[in-house]
Amino acid sequence: MDTLVLHVHASSNNTILSLTDANGRVIVNASGGTVGFKKAQRAGFEPAYQATVHIANAVREKAIPVNKVELRLKGFGAGRDAVFKAVHSVTNWAVCRVVDTTPVPFNGCRPKKARRL
Partner 1 sequence: MMNGFALFRGLTSRTPATAIFARAMSTGTPAGGAQSALEVRMKFASNLNSMVANQGASVVGRSVPVASGGANRAYMRLNRILSDNGIRRELQLRRRYEKPKYKRQRLRQESHARRFKEEVKQKVHLIMRMKNWGM
Pick the piece of the chain touching partner 1 (CB under 8 A) from 33-41, 48-56, 57-65, 92-100: 92-100
Helix (H) or strand (E) holding 58: helix 45-62
CA distance 92 to 14: 25
114 binds partner 1 (CB under 8 A): yes
Angstrom CA distances, 9 to 67, 108, 109, 111, 114, stand at 22, 21, 20, 20, 25
3-state secondary structure of 76: coil
100 binds partner 1 (CB under 8 A): yes
- 50 or 91: CB nearest partner 1: 91
Binding residue (CB under 8 A) for partner 1 from 53, 58, 90, 95: 95
Binding residue (CB under 8 A) for partner 1 from 13, 41, 88, 89: 88
Q: How far is the CB of 96 from partner 1 (least distance, A)?
A: 6
25 binds partner 1 (CB under 8 A): no
115 binds partner 1 (CB under 8 A): yes
Angstrom CA distances, 57 to 9, 11, 30, 54, 60, stand at 20, 24, 11, 5, 5
Residues contributing to the site for partner 1 (CB under 8 A): 70-72, 76, 84, 87-88, 95-102, 104-105, 110-115
